[in-house]
Amino acid sequence: MEDKHHQRGQHGGLVWPIILILVGVVFLLNNLGLINSVTWDSIWQLWPLIFIAIGLDGLLRRNEIVGPVIMFGLGGVFLLSNYGWLSWDAWETLWRLWPLLIIAVGLEIIVGRRSLWISIVGVAVIFAALLGMLWLAGVGVGPLGDQPLRSEFIEQALGDAVRAEISLSPIAGKMQVDASKDSKALIAGQVSVGRAGQVRSNYTLRNTTAVYSLSSQNPIPFPGTAWSWQLGLSPEIPIELEASMAVGDMDLDLGDLMISGADASQAVGSLSVILPAGESLAGDISQAIGQIEVVIPEDWSVRLEISKALSTLSVPPDFERRGDYYYSPGYESSGTLIDLEISQAIGNIVIRYQR
User: What is the spatial distance between Cα 30 and Cα 26, in angstroms, rounded to a whole number?
Assistant: 6
Residue of 90, 157, 102, 169 whose CA lies nearest to 129: 102
What pLDDT, on a 0 to 100 scale, did the predictor assign at position 143? 40
pLDDT at site 74: 73
Give me the pLDDT at residue 10, please.
Answer: 46
Residue 76's pLDDT is: 74
For the chain, the average pLDDT equals 76
Mean pLDDT, range 272-276, rounded to an integer: 92
Which residues contact residue 207 at a Cβ distance below 8 angstroms, ignoring those fewer than 6 apart? none
pLDDT tens by residue, 71-116 = 777 777 777 766 666 665 555 556 666 666 666 666 666 665 555 5
Alpha carbon 134 to its chain centroid, in Å, reads: 19
The domain limits of the chain are 2-143, 149-353
Q: Cβ contacts of residue 203 below 8 Å, gap of 6+?
A: 156, 210, 211, 212
User: What was the pLDDT predicted at 182?
Assistant: 87
Closest CA to 173 of 207, 204, 199: 199
Closest by CA to 199, choosing from 162, 160, 165, 227, is: 227
Q: Which of 107, 109, 115, 111 is nearest to 8 (CA)?
A: 115
- Which candidate, 101, 49, 99, places its Cα nearest to that of 74? 49
**How far apart are the two ends of the chain, measured CA to CA in Å?**
66
Residue 113: its pLDDT value, please?
56
**H/E segment holding residue 27:** helix 15-31
Rounded (5°) CA angle 67-93-72: 25
Give the DSSP letter string of 302-329: EEEEEEEEEEEEE--TT-EEETTEEE-T
Q: What is the bridge-based pairing of β-strands 209-217 and 163-169?
A: parallel
pLDDT in tens, 183-224: 889 999 998 876 656 788 999 999 999 999 998 875 444 444
